[in-house]
Chains A and B, each alone.
Chain A
Amino acid sequence: MSTLIDGLSLGVIYALIALGYTMVYGIAKMLNFAHGDIIMVGAYSVFATLALCGLAFPAILVAVIVCVLLGISVERVAYRPLRGASPLAVLITAIGVSYLLQSIAQLIFGAKPRTVELFSFTPIRIGNSTISGASLLTLGVCIVIMAALTLFVNRTKTGHAMLAVSEDRGAAQLMGINVNRIIMLTFAIGSALAAFASVFYLLYIPSVNPTLGSMPGIKAFTAAVIGGIGSIPGAMIGGVLLGLIETICLRVPALAPFTTSIEFGLLIVILLFKPTGLLGKRRREKV
């Protein structure tokens, strides 16, 4: 029971991050390798604000604002000049941005992990198993965020514009949609989600270091691929699935050392046999 809840809560964190990947991939057609590092920046903003004023909610707010601004400016400075260039070039630049953010964070805060005490929870006992309060909170808030996002994309005009851009950028532009603005908005939303993910990640592991983002980043990308990249519900399902698998693997002693291998192995197998993931759409190249 507690494994299930922990797994689910880790899963929804992955899902939040995966949403950022999948939206950017679907709309800007690029793999934002630096997405994981935005989480790291979010975590450091929480850490810094807490150190300054000691209050949790302003810290979360600051994290969201910093991440959104960062996401937008990264897109503007590093990715927009490469619009229309080869996907490979954009990917290499994104890797560069990821390095850049990590090294800047290390220069400012040092390589040493810092502890962040955001909230403290007393474990809840149900029957004979204990469930951590953090997990429950994570689960609840993340579900609300995801529901809101789904509503936003499917019910609002801007959401429809985003779908249109992801379907066919050229046609959307001809229909009078400001593609640059939509892509910027996508980065903003993705980064805000990353900021929330960083808060919950801190509940899960209460310490922050400059490479904090890279592993969850890659794993969340795995989740996005499992669910089918470009698909919002796919990212949610993939994230939850991956979180469960990871939690279960870590609690089985024989499998624990090989958790990374299992997760990445899963990624490879899925990409090989169903490159579109569980819910992805298929695109073929024209001959």
Chain B
Amino acid sequence: MSEEIILRTDNLGISFGGLKAVQHVNLEIRKNEIYGLIGPNGAGKTTVFNMLTGVYLPTEGTFYLGDEELKGMRQDLINRKGIARTFQNIRLFNNMTVIRNVLVGLHNRPEFRCNPFESIFRLGHHFDNEEAMRNKAKELLSIFDLLEERNNLACNLPYGKQRKLEIARALATEPKLLLLDEPAAGMNPQETEELMETIRFIRDKFDMTILLIEHDMNLVSGICDRLTVLNFGTVLAQGNVTDVLHHPDVIKAYLGE
């Protein structure tokens, strides 16, 4: 693990109409790290994700990807800068084929740039681009074992594969940081085990940094390098997994008094 910091949030917080949903979140995520964001329901984890991807505009603090401040940017720009995410309740392009889902993810890659005029009149690199994109998409799909289903509609995939496809699509945007929102939700222990393998594999293969929200303690303690625990919108504890999970406040929040 290098010491290069990929994502830094500086006192990040948001309030909805006076109610402080999240406040004082300071994260420092290093390159190649798998970082866990945990906490009870309603603690504000997804809200943090929404701020990091530009869905919500933080009312306090700011955040940096590398050295660049991303606060206030549009969602698609933030994605282009290098933050990609998955969703808690899967959001695929359901009426499109599996491969097209990934192709949409490849849309903004600089090597596949081409303006609508070129596409309409089939000028420039249109055909070459399309072919290269298709090959790239197939490559990604084969990594996630989805190549066989590439011409099926995304909504017809089984649940586990939909999750995988969502990750593949996010990776297609070539992010520096991948945000996974409850990737193990609705999975049985064996599937969770497989998922842990996949996440580790992604990190190694794509040289990726991953921030994930999770409820499943096995998964969290199994793969996360470091953790932050949120409760009622504030940071309860952060640091190494063992330290955090033995922190008295965390035990109190999870198990009650």
> What is the interface of chain A, defined by CB distance below 8 A to chain B?
287
- Shortest A281–chain B CB gap in Å is 13
Q: List 4 A-B contacts (CB under 8 A).
A: A287-B46, A287-B50, A287-B55, A287-B87
- The secondary structure that dominates the A interface is loop
Q: Which 4 A-B pairs have the closest CB atoms?
A: A287-B55, A287-B50, A287-B87, A287-B46
Closest chain A residue, CB of each to CB of B181: A287
Chain B residues, CB < 8 A from A287: 46, 50, 55, 87
Cα A287 to Cα B52 in complex, Å, equals 13
Chain A residues, CB < 8 A from B55: 287
- Shortest A287–chain B CB gap in Å is 5
- Shortest B37–chain A CB gap in Å is 16
Instruction: Name B111-153 residues within 8 Å CB distance of A.
Output: none
Cα A141 to Cα B209 in complex, Å, equals 69
> What is the interface of chain B, defined by CB distance below 8 A to chain A?
46, 50, 55, 87
Q: What total count of A-B pairs have CB within 8 Å?
A: 4
Cα A287 to Cα B46 in complex, Å, equals 9
- Shortest B90–chain A CB gap in Å is 13
Cα A287 to Cα B181 in complex, Å, equals 11
Cα A287 to Cα B50 in complex, Å, equals 8
- Shortest A286–chain B CB gap in Å is 8
Chain A residues, CB < 8 A from B50: 287
Cα A128 to Cα B79 in complex, Å, equals 69
Closest chain B residue, CB of each to CB of A287: B55
- Shortest A184–chain B CB gap in Å is 32
- Shortest B112–chain A CB gap in Å is 27
- Shortest A86–chain B CB gap in Å is 11
- Shortest B27–chain A CB gap in Å is 20
Cα A19 to Cα B87 in complex, Å, equals 39
- Shortest A276–chain B CB gap in Å is 14
- Shortest A170–chain B CB gap in Å is 15
Chain A residues, CB < 8 A from B46: 287
Cα A276 to Cα B55 in complex, Å, equals 20
Cα A85 to Cα B87 in complex, Å, equals 23
Closest chain A residue, CB of each to CB of B53: A287
- Shortest A162–chain B CB gap in Å is 27
Cα A112 to Cα B61 in complex, Å, equals 68
Cα A213 to Cα B167 in complex, Å, equals 52
- Shortest B180–chain A CB gap in Å is 15
Chain A residues, CB < 8 A from B87: 287
- Shortest A151–chain B CB gap in Å is 31
- Shortest A88–chain B CB gap in Å is 13
Cα A287 to Cα B55 in complex, Å, equals 8
Cα A287 to Cα B87 in complex, Å, equals 8
Closest chain B residue, CB of each to CB of A286: B89
Cα A200 to Cα B182 in complex, Å, equals 58
Cα A287 to Cα B51 in complex, Å, equals 11
Cα A287 to Cα B86 in complex, Å, equals 10
- Shortest B154–chain A CB gap in Å is 17
Cα A287 to Cα B45 in complex, Å, equals 12
Closest chain A residue, CB of each to CB of B91: A287
Cα A287 to Cα B85 in complex, Å, equals 11
Closest chain B residue, CB of each to CB of A285: B55
Cα A5 to Cα B143 in complex, Å, equals 73
Closest chain A residue, CB of each to CB of B49: A287
